[in-house]
Copies of this chain bind each other. A is one copy, B any other.
Amino acid sequence: MSDRFIVIYQLTPGAGEDVEAMCRGIALEQTVEMDADLIGSSQILDDIVGDIRAIDPLAEPGGSYRAEVAYHVSVTAFALPQLLNVLFGNISIKNNIRIVGLRLPETLLARWRGPSHGIAGIRRLVEVEHRPLAVTALKPMGSSPEALARMAEAFARGGGDIVKDDHGLADQSFCPFRERVARCQERVTRAAQATGHPTRYFPNISAPHEELEAQMEFAVEQGVQGVLVSPFLLGLDTVRYLSEKYPVAFMAHPALTGTHFHDRRHGMIPAVLLGTLFRLAGCDLSIYPNRGGRFSFTADECLAINDALREPLGQLAPAFPVPAGGMSLARIPEMTKEYGRDTAYLIGGGLLREDPDLGVATRRFVDAIEKSVTDQSAGRG
């Protein structure tokens, strides 16, 4: 057994705690869940327990170490629930352990199809070749299906690319899923025919387990080409299953993931969780809270997510980063410069603030994106 994947940890030992013992504890905890001295089999110690490859002090943050542990691919059972478990199951309950990197060999990557559309497929879907995408969200919760459908139509008439449900829009009595999806899809399709630009509507799939596939099937029947999902609300492997079964695009929402990012000493970094893991689960686009918005990611964290979504990863197609949250049009030139063209900008509430007419606001949104690309090409970015 020589085929291993590597987990890279940032470890911050407490007072009097030894980093080597801490790392050894992790390698045991995430596999055999017992002390090494109780294990009689040298084969288990050699092949199942994680193998510590390196432990080095870090300059930043002080008092922390970077450790690499190699786990045999077979401990994952080649399944996402158990991969998640080996990564951060029990140690989530410990302290000051942060997963900062992940290197997965082809043998493991081959198990997952990843994004079915990828960046190229999403670009074909919205017929946008050269620029970042313009995305918005239907809100607020409490609006009628008809009111949301009018918003979606205005966005499509303004030439936007993707309009998704807010991820809190479920199957509430005041806005039933089927009525919302049928109306929004109909209005967006009609507007897209008028403009000639194929704006797409992505409904939010958020149902009890036994109704998830009925929601997917209804959406597909209505002609929907993509959906929004929250992997931590539904289960990461449930999303993987849906994305393999249904030939539409999947956009991931980071709901409930944030406890991993709150304390930068403990959790999985956004690039691993919202980047690599969501991509493994088949997400073609992954939403994250942009720096400077109403959440608190740093510039480096945002760039690392972008890299994790786009970089080569076995046979898996690259996925679109979707920075979002409290953004305005004024930030687009800077974002295009920093993030590059293979990015989708999600502006929800900020777009409503741009102009009372959402069609006008959307036209301005798309124009700002196009200008940012032209300026950048001309060296004015």
Contact = CB atoms under 8 A, between A and B. Distances in A.
Nearest to A90: B255
Contacts of A93: 254, 257-258, 261, 289, 295-296
Interface stretch (A117-125, A193-201, A205-213, A304-312): A205-213
Interface in A16-73: 30-35, 38-39, 41, 43-44, 47-48
B349 A141 contact: no
A182 interface: no
Contact of A208 (B48, B143, B174, B237): B237
Interface stretch (A77-85, A102-110, A148-156): A77-85
Contact of A86 (B81, B168, B235): B168
B256 A88 contact: yes
A43 B85 contact: no
Interface of A: 30-35, 38-39, 41, 43-44, 47-48, 74-77, 79-82, 84-86, 88-95, 137, 139-143, 166-168, 170-174, 206-210, 230, 233-238, 240-241, 254-263, 266-267, 289, 294-296, 348-349, 352-353
Contacts of A233: 81-82, 84-85, 89, 235
Nearest to A229: B81
Count of this chain's copies in the oligomeric assembly: 2
A142 B33 contact: no
Contacts of A34: 139-140, 348-349, 352
Listed residue (A76, A93, A254) with the most chain B CB atoms within 10 angstroms of its CB: A93
B170 A92 contact: no
A76 B90 CA distance: 29
A346 to B, nearest CB: 12
Contact of A170 (B81, B173, B174): B81
A369 to B, nearest CB: 22
A137 B234 CA distance: 28
Contacts of A47: 142
